[in-house]
Amino acid sequence: MQVLDTVKDLRNWVLSTKESGQSIGLVPTMGFLHDGHLALVESAKSENDLVVMSIFVNPAQFGPNEDFDRYPRDFDRDRLLAQQAGVDIIFAPSVEEMYPRNSQITMGAGTLADVLCGKSRPGHFDGVLKVVTKLFHLVQPNIAYFGQKDAQQLAIIESLVRDFDFPLHIRRIETIREPDGLAKSSRNVYLSETERAEAPKLYQALQQGVAAARDGKDPIPEMTRFIESETSGKIDYIKLLSYPDLTDSPNGQAILALAVQFQKARLIDNIIFNSKEN
């Protein structure tokens, strides 16, 4: 496994890989790897000759009062895990390397950013679009892998690829969970012991909500009551929307999603399901 930290080295590697006709799978991450990331690598390895993992905590997708500075980082551990998982190239640029100057051209997620996390994180998805577009151009992957846990991000990136004809495919990989159901997340380390014990209730709430929605009931009131009584977290949102267009009328493929703010960690989770199947 090679670790590259400059755009120039990455471009040279990509150029020679393309010339040799080998396919590239890209796993974009912000590091502090967990089993969710490694599941992306596993899928990428099964479908491509070579796997590039980017590790970059992207300042453009953090708001001024968000946790960019204290986002968990452990590069040595990440390198070891990536190597064990069979990653071929880690691309780990500095912020200056990725953003050497102020950019002029902007990207926006339109109405897809007006709901769910986009509502409470203005500019977040614009920053995601920026770094993902750059990574797609730098790595030129055949397939890029994203976890379903960040479902809104996934919907927006799928739209990006479709709207602008990027020459690559997006794979949605299902959420990896702890044995008790909590979705794996780098931010789980922020949870206190009590909060960690409460956190699996979020997925239980989602499961109950999906069952209710399939019965034609509005799942939100009961989920709200359940989370408020069973956890110390503060609900940011619980929403049932169509997927992937994220509009208010789920009629077929749907997403039930929530975000709950704990003391030092904001957790998100979701289930994507067919609202017409029982």
Which residue, 140 or 148, has its beta carbon nearer to its own copies? Answer: 140
Q: Does 12 bind its own copies (CB under 8 A)?
A: no
Which residue, 113 or 202, has its beta carbon nearer to its own copies? Answer: 113
Chain centre to alpha carbon of residue 90? 18
The Cα 230–Cα 141 span in angstroms is 43
Which residue, 104 or 229, has its beta carbon nearer to its own copies? Answer: 104
Dihedral of alpha carbons 261, 262, 266, 267, sign? negative
- Part of the chain binding its own copies (CB under 8 A), chosen from 67-75, 106-114, 189-197, 213-221: 106-114
Q: How far is the CB of 135 from its own copies (least distance, A)?
A: 8
Q: Which residue, 204, 272, 260, is CA-closest to 232?
A: 260
Q: Which residue, 136, 127, 132, is CA-closest to 108?
A: 127
Q: Is 37 a catalytic residue?
A: yes
Rule CB under 8 A: choose which of 9, 47, 66, 133 binds its own copies. 133
Q: Does 248 bind its own copies (CB under 8 A)?
A: no
3 state SS of 253: strand
Q: Does 152 bind its own copies (CB under 8 A)?
A: no
Residue 2: both structure tokens together: 């090679």
Specify the amino acid at residue 68.
F
The Cα 124–Cα 7 span in angstroms is 24
Q: How far is the CB of 19 from its own copies (least distance, A)?
A: 7
Beta bridge partners of 247: none
Q: How far is the CB of 48 from its own copies (least distance, A)?
A: 16
Q: Contact letters (x/-) for its own copies, 160-199, by CB under 8 A?
A: x-xxxxxx--------------------------------
Residue with tokens 């986009």: 118
The Cα 98–Cα 263 span in angstroms is 32
Q: How far is the CB of 75 from its own copies (least distance, A)?
A: 23
Residue 30: both structure tokens together: 């912000």
Q: How far is the CB of 237 from its own copies (least distance, A)?
A: 20
Binding site for its own copies (CB under 8 A): 7, 11, 14, 18-19, 21, 101, 103-112, 129-130, 133-134, 137-138, 140, 156, 159-160, 162-167
Q: Which residues are catalytic?
A: 37
